[in-house]
């Protein structure tokens, strides 16, 4: 898979490229909104901190 991380406002540009120039790899490309990556980071950080608190 190929992950493209960008703000939501860039989704249209990515879709244009995937449907045109890069159409052959389109099925492998996954757009991930930047805010989702930030949320994932915070959740993982919180989870690791919780494990430390529990001593596991």
| Residue range(s) defining the domain that contains residue 41 | 2-54
Residue-wise DSSP of the chain: -EEEEE-GGGHHHHHHHHHTTTGGGGGGEEEEEHHHHHHHHHHHHHHHHHHHHHT-
- Tell me the per-residue pLDDT of 34-48, one tens digit each, with 9 for 90 and over: 999 999 999 999 999
**What global pTM score does this model have?**
0.77
Cα distance between residue 40 and residue 23, in whole Å: 29
Query: Count of domains in the chain?
Result: 1
- Over residues 7-34, the pLDDT tens digits come to 999 999 999 999 998 899 999 999 999 9
């Amino acid at each position: 898979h190929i992950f493209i991380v960008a703000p939501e406002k860039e989704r249209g540009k990515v879709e244009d490229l995937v449907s045109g120039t890069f159409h052959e790899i389109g099925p492998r490309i996954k757009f991930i909104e930047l805010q989702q990556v930030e949320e994932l980071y915070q959740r993982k950080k919180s989870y690791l901190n919780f494990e430390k608190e529990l001593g596991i």
